Amino acid sequence: MAKRSLGLILPVFVALGGACGGDGGFAPRLFIALEVSPAHAVLSTVAPGNTFQLTTRAYDQAGAPMSGAGAVTYTSSAPAIAGVSRSGVVTAAAPGTAKITTALTLGGITRTASTTVLVHAGDLWELTGVYDLSALITSFDPGRGEDLTGYRYTAVLTLRQEWDFPWFGGAYADFQLVGSGGESYAVADAGVVTGSIDPRGRVLIELLGDGNHIGLTLIVDTLASGTIDGTFGCCGHIGGTFTAARRP
């Protein structure tokens, strides 16, 4: 009876051996690739938008997910901007860009993957509303025409939430240049406002021109309740400081 059972089992092992590697054994699964999610992240310096959890997944040579415990380490290229805990929790601290590198060791093989983290100051949701903008010109290239130092740009900004990153945009109206004596010159009746974040993590608010008139790029330094402050530039030869006060 035992001899008959061996006769049934033996062909199974022979078939399996023939289907595997030429040495008659099973081909080992090798750790080939590491995937970290998310690969890109945007955080603010204000909770709760200042943290997120990294997740990892390992793949073998066939592209199949691998399970099992492995040694994972996380390091940040700029801990003062975005640090990372031993468990993979990333926390933003200051505006800027940091790269989080994840290393996983399985079966004696180590693979790495990275996450780029962009941190901006403040909470972008605080930007929504209608603002009165006043931008004082403090630097002007006199070679470009009449010196406008001491003049101000004024406009009414309407900032709203958007579905796409960086989640805000809007419009402007009554864009004017006001002289030191109070005289005003119309720049544009209305236009579009776009939001962006530069590689240093700074929030930019851009008043786009219509092709015939100039626009402004506002660089936000602080986001306080009801007030936006910072610096601005225009056309490569005009610069200054601005403040925008939210209307009630």
The string of DSSP codes covering the chain is -HHHHHHHHHHHHHHHHHHS-TTSSPPPP---EEEEE-SEEEEESSTTTTEEE-EEEEE-TTS-EE-S--EEEEEES-TTTEEE-TT-EEEE-SSEEEEEEEEEEETTEEEEEEEEEEEESS-GGGG-EEEEEEEEEEEE-GGGSS--TT-EEEEEEEEEE-SSTT-EEEEEEEEEEE-TTS-EEEEEEEEEEEEEE-TTS-EEEEE---SSS--EEEEEEEEETTEEEEEEEETTTEEEEEEEEE--
Residues 92 and 33 in one domain: yes
Residues 41 and 150 in one domain: no
How much is the pTM? 0.62
Number of domains observed in the structure of the chain: 2
Residues 161 and 111 in one domain: no
The whole domain housing 86 covers 29-120
Is 5's pLDDT higher than 50?
no
141 compared with 103, residue with greater pLDDT: 103
Residues 238 and 128 in one domain: yes
Residues 166 and 112 in one domain: no
Residue that terminates a domain, selected from 69, 87, 120: 120
Residues 93 and 130 in one domain: no
Residues 116 and 135 in one domain: no
Residues 143 and 83 in one domain: no
CATH number at residue 36: 2.60.40.1080
In a domain, 12, yes or no: no
Is 47's pLDDT higher than 50?
yes
The pLDDT score that the predictor gives to residue 225 is 67
Mean pLDDT check: name the lowest of 38-52, 173-187, 230-244: 38-52
CATH number at residue 159: 2.40.128.120
